[in-house]
Amino acid sequence: MLEIKNLHAAVDGKEILKGLTLSIGAGEVHAIMGPNGSGKSTLSYVLAGRAGYDITEGSVIYDGEDLGAMAPEVRAAKGVFLAMQYPVEIPGVTTITFLKTALNAQRRQRGEPDLDAVGVLKLVRAKAKALNVSEEMLKRALNVGFSGGEKKRLEILQMALFEPRLAILDETDSGLDIDALRLVAEGVNSLRSPERAMLVITHYQRLLDYIVPDRIHVLAKGRIVAEGGKELALELEAKGYEHIVGQAA
Amino acid sequence: MTALSAIALSEARRAKAAALVRERGLPHRRIEEWKYSDLRAALGEAGIGAVVAEYLITNLPYGMDVWDLTRQDPPAWVTENFAGSTDNTMSAASLALADGGIALRVPAGTTLTDPLKLDFTGAGHVRALLVVEDGASLNLVEGVGPAEFRNVGFEIVLGKGARLEHLRICPALEDAVLVEEAAVRIAAGGVYRGHFTGFGARLSRMELEIALQGEGAQAHLSGVALLDGARHSDVTTHVTHAAGNTNSTQLFKHVAAAKGRAVYQGKVTVAQGANGSDSLQTAKALLLGETAEADLKPELEIFADDVKCAHGAAVGDLDVESLFYLRSRGIPQAQARRMLLQAFLEDAVAEIANIDNRELARTEVLTALEAVT
C-alpha cells in the first residue's frame, strides 16, 4: 500500500531524511521508533504533505500513485490520515462543525453526496461514545481548552470517522496518563482491519504494549538503522537507542 | 427663515461651525487623526459642497417620535438635545452645510423590540439626532447607500438606564467617499452597544465619540472590516469615561486582502474623578498578501485612580499550522482559508447581542468571504 524508496526530505532547505526505505502492506501495523531529532515527525509531515517539507530525492508511492505530488486535502480524500502530535487549536470553529466540514469535504472530492447535519451527528455520536468524547466537547471550539488526553481522543475520533486506508499516528502517546493511553490504544486497535495500514510513530516502547505492531523500524539520523519484530521494542527499552544506533553505525 | 437655519436651529451656531470648517479646511494626512485617511486627497477638486444627503426610514417602530429637521418650531426634545457645538471638523461641516436631517425619539420608559431601520443615501451632508429617553430601549439598524461623497453627523443621546443596540453595515462601495461621525452621550446606567461591519469604500471613515457621562454608564463597541480590491475602512473611536464605575469594551477585527487598507484608531480617556472605571480595548488585523495594509493605534489617557484599563493590538497572517491541519483533514485550501477567516472575525460578530442583528451581520460576512481569495 505504501512504498517509500530512498526518501530524502528537507525542512526549510535542511536535509532531515537521508535515504529512508520502508514498505507497508494492507492490514499491517508498523512502528517507527527513534530518538529525538531522528526525523520521525518529519516523516509524518512529509507523508501528510505539509508545506515546507520537501521531498528532494526518492519516492513515496501510495496505492500506485505518487503521494508527493498530491495536495494535503487530496491525500486525505484518498484515505491518508495523520493523527498529530500537537493538534492545533482553532478558536471560532466548533468541533462538530469542523468534523462535518471535513467529512463532507472528503466525500465531495470522492464524488459522494454530502451528509446533512443530522447524519453527521448520528455518525459522530456512534463513534464518540467509545472514545469518551462528550457532546459538550463537540460543541466547544476545536481543541481550545482541551486537555492533552482530550485532544488525542479527538484525533482518534477523526480517524474512526474518516476511515482512512493509511493511518499515521505521530507520538499519539505523548502527554497521556495510563488510563488515557489505554483508551486511545483501544480506539486504535478497534480500527485495525485487513484493508487498513497503520504507521505508529513513537519514542517510547510503552505505546507498543497496547498497540502491538507487526514490524518495528528504528530511525536514526534520517535513516532506518534497524528492523525487527515486536521484540525489538523490548530490546530498545532495555538497552537504549545508543546501543542499536551505535551498532548500525 | 430659510430651511438652512432650521437645521442648525440657530444662525449663530451654524456660522460658528462654518467658521471652524473654513479655518481648518478639509482634513488631510498631515493631521495626526487623519494620517491613514486622506480625505482631502480622496475628494480632490470636488471638495465638499453644500449639498443635501438624504435619510430614509425603512422601518419605524410604533411608539417613536419623528421630526424632520427642516421644519420650523421644533419640539423641546429636539432643541434640548441638538448639538450645541463641536470641535470635530467634519461634524462641524455637517452642522454648517447640511440642509436636511432627522430627529427621532423613544419616549421615556418605552421598550421597542421592532427595529428602527434608518438608511443614509445620496451625496452631501446630513444630520441625525436619536434620543432614547430614560429607561427606554431601541434596536437601530443603520444602512449605508452609495454616494460619491457623504458626510453624516449623527448624535445619539441615551438617558438614564436607556439601552440602544446599534448595528451599522457598510457594503463594499468601491467609488464612494463616506464619512460619519457618531457622537454618543450616555447618562447614568445607560448601555450603548454599537457594531460596525464594513466592506470598505474608496475612503470610509466611521468616527465614534462616546461620552460615558453618568455613573455606571456602559459602551460596548465592536466591528469587522473585510477589505478586498483597493478598499479602505477607518474606524476611529474616542471613549471618554467622565463618571465613576463606567465600563467600556472594544473589539475590532479586520481582514485586508489585495490592496485593502484597514485602520483602527482608538483612544480611551478616563477623566479625573472617574474612579473605578473599567476599559478593555482590542484590535486585531490579518493581512492577506504583501500589498494589504493595516494600521492599528490604541491609546490610553488616564487621569483617575483605581481604574482597570487594558489594550492590545496585533497584525498577523493566517496561521500556517491551522491551515495545514484543516487541509490534512480533507478541506481544500480556499475553503480552509475561509473557515479560518470566519473564525478570526467571529468573536467580534458574537459581540452583537441582538440575535437578528447578529445573524444579519454574520450572513453579510460569510457572503463577502466567499469572494475573498
Is residue A222 within 8 A of residue A245, CB to CB? The reply is: no
Is residue A20 within 8 A of residue A7, CB to CB? The reply is: yes
* B345 vs A contacts (CB less than 8 Å): 92
d(C-alpha A185, C-alpha B35), whole Å: 59
CB contact under 8 A, B328 and A72: yes
Nearest residue of chain A to residue B350 (CA atoms): A92
Hey, where are the domains in chain A? 2-248
CB contact under 8 A, B328 and A90: no
| Contact with chain A for residue B317, Cβ under 8 A | no
Complex ipTM, two decimals?
A: 0.95
Could you read off the pLDDT of A136-160 as tens digits, one per residue? 999 999 999 999 889 999 999 999 9
CB contact under 8 A, A92 and B346: yes
Question: What is the reported pLDDT for A177?
Answer: 85
Question: What is the reported pLDDT for B3?
Answer: 42
| Contact with chain A for residue B44, Cβ under 8 A | no
Question: What is the reported pLDDT for B373?
Answer: 62
Of B321, B331, B345, the CB nearest to A102: B331
Q: Is A5 helix (H, G, I), strand (E, B) or coil?
A: strand
Full residue range of the structural domain in which residue B180 is found: 3-317
CB contact under 8 A, B319 and A88: yes
Buried b (16+ CB within 10 A) or exposed e, B134-163: bbbbbbbbbbbbebebbbbbbbbbbbbbbb
With a cut of 50, which residues of chain B have pLDDT below it? 1-5
| Contact with chain A for residue B344, Cβ under 8 A | yes
Res. A3: pLDDT tops 50: yes
Could you read off the pLDDT of B180-203 as tens digits, one per residue? 999 999 999 999 999 999 999 999
Residue A63, Ramachandran bin (φ over 0: left; ψ between -120 and 50: alpha; else beta) = left
Could you read off the pLDDT of B273-302 as tens digits, one per residue? 999 999 999 999 999 989 999 999 999 999
Count, residues in chain B: 373
C-alpha R_g of chain A: 18
Could you read off the pLDDT of A92-103 as tens digits, one per residue? 899 999 999 999
Q: Is residue B68 part of a domain?
A: yes
Res. A20: pLDDT tops 90: yes
Is residue A216 within 8 A of residue A208, CB to CB? The reply is: yes
Interface test with B, best of A11, A88, A169 (most B CBs within 10 A): A88
Question: What is the reported pLDDT for B209?
Answer: 97
Interface test with B, best of A70, A93, A99, A154 (most B CBs within 10 A): A93
Of A50, A71, A102, the CB nearest to B329: A102
Question: What is the reported pLDDT for B5?
Answer: 44
Question: What is the reported pLDDT for A247?
Answer: 64
| Contact with chain A for residue B325, Cβ under 8 A | yes
Question: What is the reported pLDDT for B219?
Answer: 98
* A92 vs B contacts (CB less than 8 Å): 342-347
Q: Is residue B357 part of a domain?
A: no
C-alpha R_g of chain B: 20
d(C-alpha B373, C-alpha B370), whole Å: 8
Q: Considering its fold, how many domains does chain B have in total?
A: 1
Q: Is residue B296 part of a domain?
A: yes
| Contact with chain A for residue B320, Cβ under 8 A | yes
CB contact under 8 A, A73 and B331: yes
**What is the sign, positive or negative, of the torsion defined by CA atoms of B78, B84, B88, B94?**
positive
| Contact with chain A for residue B322, Cβ under 8 A | yes
| Contact with chain A for residue B369, Cβ under 8 A | no
Kind plus residue range of the DSSP H or E element containing A203:
none
* B319 vs A contacts (CB less than 8 Å): 88
Question: What is the reported pLDDT for B65?
Answer: 97
| Contact with chain A for residue B338, Cβ under 8 A | no
CB contact under 8 A, A76 and B329: yes
d(C-alpha B246, C-alpha B269), whole Å: 12
| Contact with chain A for residue B343, Cβ under 8 A | yes
**Sheet order of strands, A14-24 included:** A14-24, A2-11, A53-62, A65-66
Interface test with A, best of B284, B327, B335 (most A CBs within 10 A): B327
Instruction: For residues A210-215, give the mean pLDDT.
Output: 93
Name the residue with higher pLDDT: A111 or A246: A111
| Contact with chain A for residue B331, Cβ under 8 A | yes
Interface test with A, best of B224, B331, B341, B344 (most A CBs within 10 A): B331
Is residue B100 within 8 A of residue B25, CB to CB? The reply is: no
| Contact with chain A for residue B332, Cβ under 8 A | yes
The angle formed by the CA atoms of residues B9, B12 and B14, to the nearest 5 degrees, is 60
Provide long-range contacts, Cβ within 8 A and 24+ apart, for A145-149: A146/A87, A146/A89, A148/A174, A148/A175, A148/A176, A148/A180, A149/A175, A149/A176, A149/A177, A149/A180, A149/A183, A149/A184
Question: What is the reported pLDDT for B2?
Answer: 41
Buried b (16+ CB within 10 A) or exposed e, A214-232: ebbbbbbbbbbbbeeebeb
Is residue A39 within 8 A of residue A16, CB to CB? The reply is: yes
CB contact under 8 A, B347 and A49: no
Res. A244: pLDDT tops 80: no
Output the CATH code of domain A2-248. Answer: 3.40.50.300
| Å between B349 CA and nearest CA of chain A | 11
Is residue A152 within 8 A of residue A169, CB to CB? The reply is: no
Q: Is residue B65 part of a domain?
A: yes
Question: What is the reported pLDDT for B368?
Answer: 94
Question: What is the reported pLDDT for A242?
Answer: 79
Q: Is residue B98 part of a domain?
A: yes
Nearest residue of chain B to residue A77 (CA atoms): B330
| Å between B323 CA and nearest CA of chain A | 9
Question: What is the reported pLDDT for A176?
Answer: 85
